[in-house]
Copies of this chain bind each other. A is one copy, B any other.
Amino acid sequence: MTDRRRSVAAAADGFARAFTVDDLIAAARAHSPGIGIATVYRAVAAMEGAGALERVGSRDGSALYVRCSEDEHHHHLVCTACGAVAHTPCPLGTNMPDSAHEGFVVTSHQITLYGLCAACAGTGAVRG
């Protein structure tokens, strides 16, 4: 684990909402002023591979990510108005990975729920 990687991870920890790589670059530069974008992209790829980061869609052509613990298998709920994120248990229940459906052996799945968080549900706010 290098100094740069630590900065990116710390920057990711700082977000309570979904963020783009650009957001992450800006945040990482607070602690590592000279960090290059290639390095951040590489850190993102590594973290995504390790389950520390998860893609939850895109906004204006840029990927949106969510900081995620590497613990239990679970999924995410993203507020389409403010980007707020909630971690929610896997709704598949008994139909877990490696089970069979329609003749397929299911090895993985991608689930993201979208909606409005409590704060945004109150106002008529809409974003992106």
- Chain A residues in the interface with B (C-beta under 8 A): 57, 77, 79-80, 86, 88, 91-93, 95, 101-118, 121
Contacts and interface: CB of A to CB of B under 8 A. Distances in A.
A114 B110 contact: yes
This chain: copies in complex = 2
B95 A91 contact: yes
Contact of A103 (B91, B113, B118): B118
7 contacts: A80-B107, A86-B101, A91-B91, A104-B115, A104-B121, A107-B115, A109-B113
The 3 closest A-B pairs by CB, nearest first: A106-B115, A86-B102, A103-B118
B91 A104 contact: no
A64 to B, nearest CB: 12
Nearest to A103: B118
Contacts of A115: 101, 104-108
Nearest to A116: B105
Contacts of A106: 77, 113-115
Nearest to A102: B86
Given A110-B114, A114-B110, A105 B77 contact: no
A104 B112 CA distance: 13
B102 A109 contact: no
Given A91-B91, A106-B113, 18 more contacts: A77-B102, A80-B107, A86-B101, A86-B102, A88-B101, A88-B102, A91-B92, A101-B113, A103-B117, A104-B116, A104-B118, A105-B116, A105-B121, A108-B113, A108-B115, A109-B114, A110-B110, A110-B112
